[in-house]
Chain A
Amino acid sequence: MSLRRILTTLAVSLLSSATAWSGEWAKLSEDGVHDPRGPAIGLLQQPGDALSNLPGDGAGNQVHWIKALRSGVIRPRPNIDPAREDRRLDKDIYLDLYGSMPSVRFPHLAHTEWLDCTNCHDQLFLPKRGANGISMFLILQGQQCGVCHGAVAFPLTECSRCHSVRNHIAQRIVAELEAEEARKAAGGGSKEAGSADAPRGAPAKPPKDARGGAR
């Protein structure tokens, strides 16, 4: 199929152009943003001085921020007020099961290590699989995943970091998950019966509570 070929070529050319930038951080005086004649130039830290010590990557800040965090090389604070809860969720969501690109694995854990649930739910995404009409078209316009990816988190040139799972494998994982959910609902399902386990493709009701889902 020729569309697929076009996309693949494009993806490859994007990827190679992205990696061509690697290993170089502009000096503040030459970055086009800082005033080279301002008094801060000699005082502020140069990006290269800090970022060259972190696990490398080919795009964005040229830092693999997830590796930097998990290896303990950086220890960013999760809160200012120590009483504030640092919420995490370890649940992968598989998207784009039947498209021309490999399927997308969205890892809640990697995201909630950095972000709070409220950064996405319910403003960007309703916390319900398939309820959001996620599309590459909108992502490229800076919506949905593109609010962060392409702005602060790794950029959209890194196709394969999102499109990372072969379609048939993702389809199998989701089928198993849905069978499991159906079993649970049929078994002790007095509390959650009905709408929570509607078949895929059924219209979704907007859920009220982003935290109710650690099933």
Chain B
Amino acid sequence: MTGSASLRAALAVPLLAIALTVGLSAESRAEYADVVLNRNAEKEGMRPVVFPHWFHRIRFRCKVCHAELGFKMRAGSNLVTMGDIIDGRFCGACHNGQIAWAPENCDLCHSGKPGLPPGIFGGHETNGPGIW
């Protein structure tokens, strides 16, 4: 018990050090927890989508999107299409002209810098060790 705990602690030290150095040298100054969705958008001629957690969590609890609406908690793991959105799923459960403005405001969602990969930005996890 003590042995394996201190082994793990010893492993945690270099990991933390990596997290620190990589985290600080990262270029992006994205707001913490911004997510880029770009599985197909750019391939089909639209800018990548930027989803701001900070903006939405002021208005909705996590459980609304991640339990009730079924967004999986892993950036890039939800296959969202415009068809889904227009049919009222994913972003479209709210962006339907009732709870929030309608899908016709293309540029408000498709606001990302061209070339961005899908993923979470501004977080220590992805700038640091994260998913290797």
Contact = CB atoms under 8 A, between A and B. Distances in A.
Given A33-B113, A136-B12, A61 B31 contact: yes
Contact of A50 (B20, B29, B58, B116): B58
Nearest to B99: A80
Nearest to B108: A40
Interface stretch (A114-122, A165-173, A174-182, A188-196): A114-122
Given A100-B9, A142-B125, A32 B132 contact: no
Interface string B80-99: 00000000000001100001
Interface residues of B, number: 67
Contacts, number: 192
B121 A51 contact: no
Given A32-B28, A141-B130, A61 B64 contact: no
Measured as residues with beta carbon below 8 angstroms from the partner, the interface class of chain A is 35 or more
Interface of B: 1-2, 5-6, 8-13, 15-17, 19-20, 24, 27-34, 36, 47, 50, 52-55, 57-64, 66-69, 73, 93-94, 99, 107-108, 110-114, 116, 120-126, 128-132
- Can you list the 9 inter-chain pairs with the closest CB atoms, starting with the nearest? A150-B125, A116-B67, A40-B111, A32-B28, A26-B29, A116-B63, A33-B30, A152-B33, A155-B124
